[in-house]
């Protein structure tokens, strides 16, 4: 497994990162309850298998159910071998409002305290904002609290999980947030414009949503009528991949791995098979020029909205 620098943090991470949401709570297609999830012993074994296979970067969050606890249990005797990134709980209330300064500081501090306890660790490697919009990224109380956490040695680096290009640009240009986690995949490549900026500023770039919640796999077939153009676009990728001897998920994952300014690619893993497939893809050669040239994004990226499609009953 290739290890790459996480920006200028001084931290080295495996190019495949273990996405920890699926082991912590029901998430993804076909997973509706804890009965559909791995048992605790199975999840711990899977985490250790990933570490033994060369994966050292593990992503989790306060909001990911049992994920932090499982990671803490798995790596209680392996702290120096792993890089742990966790995200604090959401800062906005149910109405979408930010609380006052005192309450914000309390939320962040209590969230970090809960994470450290669950992870069985005295410090995390990366502490991130979860769903960091521009107002949150620029909030003085939020920024000051994260700076204090660094000074106190409770986290080695701080970062933000963003959604839009504008949010990513604000975070990178701030000079404060050292790691950015953002969505990027074959269909939606809008965030590619910030990769060079991140490299220039020494910010670590971590990519999520490489398979777009499974759409860039067999799940992207036989879609409902409103998604006909999406399905057609996905089918074109699949044909290209097959011509080069790859599956669609391999093509989609390798496409992101081949971006030079990406430090690590988050892969949701809740089965040994998914881990093995991710490792196989990481060890494959770079994509051919034909496949890179064929990686044409969907022409209307604003239409790509999985939660909305789900609400509309299109999935």
Higher pLDDT, 25 or 61: 61
Quick count: other Cβ atoms within 10 Å of Cβ 152? 10
What pTM was estimated for this model as a whole? 0.95
- Render pLDDT for 47-62 as a digit per residue (tens, 0 to 9): 999 999 999 999 999 9
State how far the alpha carbon of 273 is from the alpha carbons of 22, 51, 242, 278, in Å.
14, 15, 20, 9
Average pLDDT, the chain: 95
Residue 18, SS3?
Answer: strand
pLDDT above 70 coverage of the chain, percent: 99
Using the predicted structure, report yes or no on whether residue 187 has a pLDDT greater than 80: yes
- Helix 101-119, helix 140-151: angle, nearest 10: 40
Token readout for 181 is: 């986690």
pLDDT the model gives residue 29:
63
The neighbouring-strand residues paired with 155 are 124
Burial of residue 258, with CB atoms counted within 10 A of its CB: 0-12 exposed, 13-18 middle, 19 or more buried: middle
Backbone angles phi, psi at 17, to 5 degrees: -110, 140
DSSP code per residue over 66-96? THHHHHHHHTTT-GGG-EEEEEPPP-S-TTS
């Amino acid at each position: 497994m290739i290890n790459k620098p996480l920006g200028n943090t001084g931290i080295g991470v495996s190019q495949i990162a273990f996405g920890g949401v699926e082991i912590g709570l029901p998430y993804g297609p076909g997973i509706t309850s804890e009965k559909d999830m791995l048992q605790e012993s199975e999840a711990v074994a899977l985490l250790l298998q990933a570490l033994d296979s060369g994966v050292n970067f593990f992503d989790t969050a306060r909001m990911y159910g049992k994920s932090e606890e499982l990671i803490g249990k798995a790596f209680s005797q392996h702290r120096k071998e792993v890089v742990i990134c966790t995200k604090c709980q959401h800062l906005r209330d149910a109405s979408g409002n930010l609380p006052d300064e005192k309450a914000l500081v309390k939320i962040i501090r209590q969230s970090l305290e809960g994470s450290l306890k669950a992870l069985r660790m005295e410090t995390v490697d990366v502490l991130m904002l979860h769903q960091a919009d521009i107002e949150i990224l620029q909030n003085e109380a939020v920024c000051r609290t994260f700076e204090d956490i660094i000074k106190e040695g409770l986290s080695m680096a701080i970062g933000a999980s963003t959604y839009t290009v504008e949010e990513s640009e604000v975070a990178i240009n701030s000079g404060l947030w050292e790691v950015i986690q953002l969505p990027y995949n074959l269909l939606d490549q809008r965030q590619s414009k910030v990769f060079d900026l991140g490299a220039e500023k020494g910010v670590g770039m971590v990519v999520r949503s490489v398979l777009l919640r499974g759409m860039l796999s067999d799940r992207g077939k036989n879609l409902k009528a409103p998604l006909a153009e999406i399905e057609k676009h996905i089918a074109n990728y699949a044909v290209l991949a097959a011509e080069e001897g790859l599956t669609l998920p391999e093509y989609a994952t390798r496409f992101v791995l081949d971006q030079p300014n990406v430090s690590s690619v988050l892969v949701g893993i809740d089965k040994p098979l998914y881990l093995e497939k991710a490792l196989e893809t990481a060890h494959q050669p770079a994509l051919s020029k034909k496949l890179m040239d064929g990686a044409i994004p969907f022409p209307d990226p604003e239409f790509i909205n999985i939660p909305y499609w789900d609400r509309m009953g299109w999935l």
